[in-house]
Amino acid sequence: MFFNKKKKNESDSFDLVKIAALLIHAAKIDEKYSMEEEEIIKKTLLNLGTNQNELETIINEAKQSEKNTNQILDFTKEIKRLQEKDKIKIIRSLWRIIYSNKDADIYETNLMRRLSGLLYIDSKTMGDIKEQIKKENL
């Protein structure tokens, strides 16, 4: 029993690194990575259950992971397995990152279109979240 619990926690940490890497990728895709975007990433990770003490380690590992790959499939494999409510939290955060500078460029919108399919999020849900976040940032 103890072994399984330890293994699950290691797996959770791995999932959080992949989630953070995807969020960082979205923040960097417009080549304007800001502290505001990093704060959104941190809040998202905390909201998903990251321990405050592990936050910086996860962020640093995620930055390295994002830097070393050019495939978003590496990040989305883990996210696909999450519950729908956690996927929606991640999608909301991705849109918050994108609209943190009040505008979405073609690379950001293309990323979100691809993620919609990869994470099995229907286009209506994706569009509704996008519009809600867009209005929050006006």
Sign of the dihedral defined by the CA atoms of residues 112, 81, 59, 128, in that order: positive
Q: How sure is the predictor about 1, in pLDDT bands with cuts at 50, 70 and 90?
A: very low
Share of the chain above pLDDT 70, in %: 90
pTM of the model: 0.86
d(CA 87, CA 131): 17
pLDDT tens-digit series, residues 76-129:
988 898 889 999 999 999 999 999 988 899 999 999 999 999 999 999 999 999
The count of C-alpha atoms lying within 13 angstroms of the C-alpha of 128, restricted to the half-sphere facing its C-beta, is 6
* Per-residue DSSP letter, 34: -
**Angle of CA points 102, 63, 15, to nearest 5°:** 95
What tokens were used for 80? Answer: 């696909």
d(CA 133, CA 111): 16
Q: Give the number of other CB atoms < 10 A from CB of residue 36.
A: 13
CA 28 to chain centre: 12
Closest CA to 79 of 36, 26, 38, 129: 26
